[in-house]
Amino acid sequence: MKPIIPVLLIALSGYVSAANLQPCAFTPKQTEQNPYPEIEVFHHCASYQNKHLEITDKHWRKLNFNENQLTTLFTQGQYFYLKPDRSYLPVITYDNGADYFQEGLTRSLLNGKIAFYNHDFDLVLETDFDWAWPFQDGVARVCRGCVVTQVNEEHTGLTGGVWGYIDKQGNMIEPLN
C-alpha cells in the first residue's frame, strides 16, 4: 500500500496555476555560479492542496537528488521527500527538517497515526500509535494518547499517554505503561 500520489504536473495543462503557487524551500543543484548550494526559498514554486503536490517545471529542474535518488522540499508547512519520477512522500517534521531515514525508514502520518516508509516510499509498517521515535537497534519507542505540547518558542515535547517499544514488525516488545 503506497499512500503517495505521483505528481502529474504539467502533462495536461502545460503549467501549474499561478494563483495556487506558494513559496517552497529546497537545496538546489550545484552550479558553477553556486558551487556550495544551501537551502533556499523560492517564490511561486509549489502548491499542496487536497493531498496533491505540484511543483513548477522551472523549480523541478533545480532539485538536487542525492545518491538514493531523493531530495527534500518544504512548502505550506509540510516536508516532502521527492523522487525523480515525481512521486513524493509527505513526512513529519523532525529537528527543523524532513524526518531522517534511520535504519532505512522514515516516519509519516497515515490516517492520523505514525507509519514507517522505506526509500522507495513503500509502506513498511502501519501503526496505531500517536507518536513513534525512529528505530534504533531495531526498536522504536511509541505512545498512545500522548499530545504535543509547546516547551518554549522553538521546541515542542510530548506529554501524557502510555509508552512502550515495538520491533520493526510492529510487535510490542515492551508493553505500554
- The burial of 166, by beta-carbon neighbours within 10 Å (0-12 exposed, 13-18 middle, 19 or more buried), is given as buried
Q: Which residues are registered as beta bridge partners of 144?
A: 162
Average pLDDT, the chain: 88
pTM, rounded to two decimals:
0.84
Residue 89 confidence (pLDDT): 98
Provide the 10 A C-beta neighbour count for residue 154.
7
Helix intervals (H) in 36-173: 57-60
Pick out the chain residues at pLDDT < 50.
1-14
The pLDDT assigned to 17 comes to 58
First to last CA, the chain: 31
Res 13: pLDDT: 36
Domain ranges in the chain?
1-91
Q: What's the one-letter identity of residue 17?
A: S
pLDDT for the residue 154: 80
Q: How far apart, in whole angstroms, are the C-alpha atoms of residue 84 and residue 70?
A: 7
Q: What is the pLDDT of residue 18?
A: 61
Say which residues have a Cβ less than 8 Å from residue 108's Cβ, sequence separation at least 6: 89, 90, 91, 92, 99, 114, 115, 116, 117
* Residues counted in the chain: 177
